Amino acid sequence: MEEKRKLLIETKDLTKKFNDVVAVNKVSIKINRGEILGLIGENGSGKSTISSMISAIHTVTSGEMFLDGKKYTPSSRMDAIDNGITMIVQEAGTIDGLTVAENIFLGDEKRFIKRGIVDGRKMEEEAKKALLSIGIEDIEPSATAAMLSFEERKLVEVAKAVYYDPELFIVDETTTALSQHGREILYKLIHKLRDDNKAVLLISHDLQELMDNCDVLTVLRDGNLVETISKDEFNEDRIKKSMVGREIKGDYYRSDYDGKCDGKVIVRAENLESDTLCDVSFDLKEGQILGIAGLSGSGMHELGRAIFGLEKLKKGRVTTFISDKESEIKSVKDALSNNIGYISKDRDKEALVLPASIKDNLVLANLSKMKFFITKKTEKEFAQKIIDDLNIKCSSMNQAVGELSGGNKQKVSFGKWIGNDSKIIIMDSPTRGVDIGVKTTMYQLITELKKQGYAILLISEEMQELIGMSDEILIMKDGAISGRAQRSAELGEQDIISYMI
Ligand SMILES: Nc1ncnc2c1ncn2[C@@H]1O[C@H](COP(=O)(O)OP(=O)(O)OP(=O)(O)O)[C@@H](O)[C@H]1O
Ligand SMILES: [Mg+2]
């Protein structure tokens, strides 16, 4: 590269310990202006911890940071923002009880204080500007965050981060929380920042996304920096190998192209109508993986919620036929007593009990299975098996789920429905934030469940995942089913996208 780059941030031997666990071990990285630096590494390799030290969410155990050549020791998140560093965190970064405007200006309310009180209207006007600046028109600044969808809350964070005009913009595993539309907003933003000679730190498990967007990639393994690779040396196999320390195969989806299912119908959705859904009907059969595709606002996530009894229906019914017994699902209680499992996209809010241990989270959904002999031993064996199968990185099964890295939380959320009595599992974005090694295991497990006769509703933003795993794909648009695609070797993304828009 001919153009002169200017070093914005440098870390020297940056280290973070959580009790005895060394999460980040003497990592030295350089982030240049005019560059998008990608961070990649397996779940628990230290990506979020490094970025959290730079943005002052975590304190530094040892090592140093330099900003524009001067020693940088941020005292608080707001201090980091004042130094030009903003971050979209991997987990929920908004507070439910506050409005959109209050979330955007959290910690910075002082700028709206007039005669001792916060001028709420002024704040909302400014929030509106922040949202519009990234092209978001349909989120109201006065709405409480709890009312928003997971994606909308992420976009509020994006608006906040950009509002403060960052020199360094850190994006931690955010794209998988967004739909195509949200992703495009984000890509446009990071490229604009790069063009404006600012810097971006992008964390993702999507290798293609990193190779498409980054100028340099830094690989981490077990808290250590493995190598830094520049764009002209990007190569998928090399990066994967560098991440996991061994060769991994590229094909991890189902290898068969037989989408026919002769299983009995086990879930029937008839004419579902809600605030979002519009006359949705389908059958899900035993041994079937039924994919659901759609853009944001298409109702795909709400459909999953409806089958689990979470979405308020105005019309229609969801019926299950387990062991030939017909039952209507009207609530989560009905869903649970009919052994329906649900992996929510919003894992922190809907799927996990964060303060509870890994073991308790895993066992929670399996109490019925173990109820005749809930001995400590069965629980432990069960939890240990899932921890091993999914390679959950933890200090012990008694560690609180809230302390795990994002991808490892996702594994717990996935694992709790596996090996369970549920014969029906709704999976909304099941591999969100999970590294490629474990994705392979998850896809194998899903295929195995199918063979055992489980019925799986696979809701996903990842087109390749849907095409690679589903027997049939229902495509949603404006709350209704707009198309169907059968499994075949020729099925391509474009065949599905054409029904989405
Ligand atoms: N608050 C905490 N308490 C104890 N251990 C923690 C805490 N936060 C992170 N860790 C540990 O630090 C290590 C690194 O975690 P980190 O979140 O940085 O991983 P990551 O690379 O971002 O992974 P992922 O891809 O899953 O998001 C993990 O082993 C994790 O369990
Ligand atoms: Mg992380």
Q: What is the DSSP string of 400-426?
A: BGGGS-HHHHHHHHHHTTTTSS-SEEE
Would you say the CB of residue 170 lies under 6 angstroms from ligand 1?
no
CB of 429 closer than 8 Å to CB of 477: no
Which residue's CA lies nearest to atom 29 of ligand 1?
A: 44
* Nearest ligand 1 atom, CA 24: 14
Q: Is pLDDT above 90 for 3?
A: no
Candidate from 9-18, 402-411, 434-443 with smallest mean pLDDT: 434-443
CB of 463 closer than 8 Å to CB of 261: no
Q: Which of 16, 244, 404 to mutate to test the pocket of ligand 1 (most atoms within 8 A of CB)?
A: 404
* Nearest ligand 1 atom, CA 410: 26
Ligand 1 center to 61 CA (angstroms): 15
Would you say the CB of residue 204 lies under 6 angstroms from ligand 1?
no
CA 312, 315, 321, 327 dihedral sign is positive
Instruction: State mean pLDDT over 66-86.
Output: 95
Confidence label for 246 from pLDDT (cuts 50, 70 and 90): confident
CB of 365 closer than 8 Å to CB of 417: yes
Would you say the CB of residue 90 lies under 6 angstroms from ligand 1?
yes
Closest ligand relative to 434 C-alpha: 1
Q: Which of 18, 174, 207, 243 to mutate to test the pocket of ligand 1 (most atoms within 8 A of CB)?
A: 18
Candidate from 250-264, 382-396, 462-476 with smallest mean pLDDT: 250-264
Would you say the CB of residue 429 lies under 6 angstroms from ligand 1?
no
Phi/psi at 303 (5° precision): -65, -45
Closest ligand relative to 391 C-alpha: 1
What CATH number does the domain located at 265-352+422-500 have?
A: 3.40.50.300
Q: Mean pLDDT of all residues in the chain?
A: 91
Q: Which of 19, 173, 243, 405 to mutate to test the pocket of ligand 1 (most atoms within 8 A of CB)?
A: 405
DSSP letter at 279? S
Q: d(Cα 355, Cα 73) in Å, to the nearest integer?
A: 30
Interstrand relation of 21-27 and 117-118 (parallel, antiparallel or unpaired): unpaired
Distant-in-sequence, close-in-space partners of 268: CB < 8 Å, separation ≥ 6: 282, 283, 284, 318, 319, 320, 321
Closest ligand relative to 393 C-alpha: 1
Ligand 2 center to 199 CA (angstroms): 20
Ligand 2 center to 48 CA (angstroms): 4
Ligand 1 center to 24 CA (angstroms): 9
* Nearest ligand 1 atom, CA 394: 31
Residue 107: both structure tokens together: 């910690």
Instruction: State mean pLDDT over 149-161.
Output: 92
Candidate from 2-16, 114-128, 273-287, 381-395 with smallest mean pLDDT: 2-16
Q: d(Cα 32, Cα 342) in Å, to the nearest integer?
A: 43
Ligand 1 center to 417 CA (angstroms): 23
Confidence label for 2 from pLDDT (cuts 50, 70 and 90): very low
Fold of 7-94+148-244: Rossmann fold (3.40.50)
Instruction: State mean pLDDT over 81-86.
Output: 95
Beta strand ranges found along 6-69 (DSSP E): 7-18, 21-27, 30-32, 35-41, 62-67
Helices (H), 338-435: 358-364, 367-370, 376-389, 406-415
pLDDT score recorded for residue 186 = 94
Q: Is pLDDT above 50 for 209?
A: yes
CA 401, 406, 408, 412 dihedral sign is positive
Closest ligand relative to 218 C-alpha: 1
Which residue's CA lies nearest to atom 18 of ligand 1?
A: 46
Closest ligand relative to 223 C-alpha: 1
Q: 373: burial class by Cβ within 10 Å (0-12, 13-18, 19+)? A: exposed
Confidence label for 5 from pLDDT (cuts 50, 70 and 90): low
- How far, CA to CA in Å, does 443 sit from each of 125, 425, 438, 468, 479? 46, 14, 9, 9, 28
CA 272, 416, 433, 425 dihedral sign is negative
Closest ligand relative to 40 C-alpha: 1
SS3 track for 449-466 = HHHCCCEEEEECCCHHHH
Residue 432: both structure tokens together: 């969100």
DSSP letter at 49? H
Residue 424: both structure tokens together: 């029906």
Domain positions in the chain are 7-94+148-244, 265-352+422-500
* Radius of gyration of the chain, Cα coordinates, nearest whole angstrom: 23
Instruction: State mean pLDDT over 182-198.
Output: 94
Q: d(Cα 481, Cα 182) in Å, to the nearest integer?
A: 22
Smallest CA-to-CA distance from 210 within 185, 180, 230, 226 is with 230
- How far, CA to CA in Å, does 88 sit from each of 81, 160, 266, 273, 366? 12, 9, 40, 34, 34
Percent of the chain exceeding pLDDT 90 equals: 70
Q: At what angle do helices 236-244 and 436-451 cross, to 10 degrees?
A: 90
Would you say the CB of residue 21 lies under 6 angstroms from ligand 1?
yes
Q: Which residue did the predictor score with more confidence, 11 or 360?
A: 11
Q: d(Cα 240, Cα 235) in Å, to the nearest integer?
A: 9
pLDDT score recorded for residue 375 = 62
pLDDT score recorded for residue 416 = 86
Cα-to-chain-centroid distance, residue 240: 20
Considering 147-156, 176-185, 468-477, the range whose residues carry the highest mean pLDDT is 468-477
Judge whether 7-94+148-244 and 265-352+422-500 match in fold. Answer: yes
Q: 452: burial class by Cβ within 10 Å (0-12, 13-18, 19+)? A: exposed
Instruction: State mean pLDDT over 168-191.
Output: 92
Q: Which of 22, 49, 210 to mutate to test the pocket of ligand 1 (most atoms within 8 A of CB)?
A: 49
Q: Is pLDDT above 60 for 295?
A: yes
pLDDT score recorded for residue 367 = 57
Instruction: State mean pLDDT over 264-275.
Output: 97
Q: Is pLDDT above 60 for 334?
A: yes
Instruction: State mean pLDDT over 487-495.
Output: 92
pLDDT score recorded for residue 1 = 46
* Nearest ligand 1 atom, CA 39: 21
pLDDT score recorded for residue 4 = 53
pLDDT score recorded for residue 228 = 96
Would you say the CB of residue 410 lies under 6 angstroms from ligand 1?
no
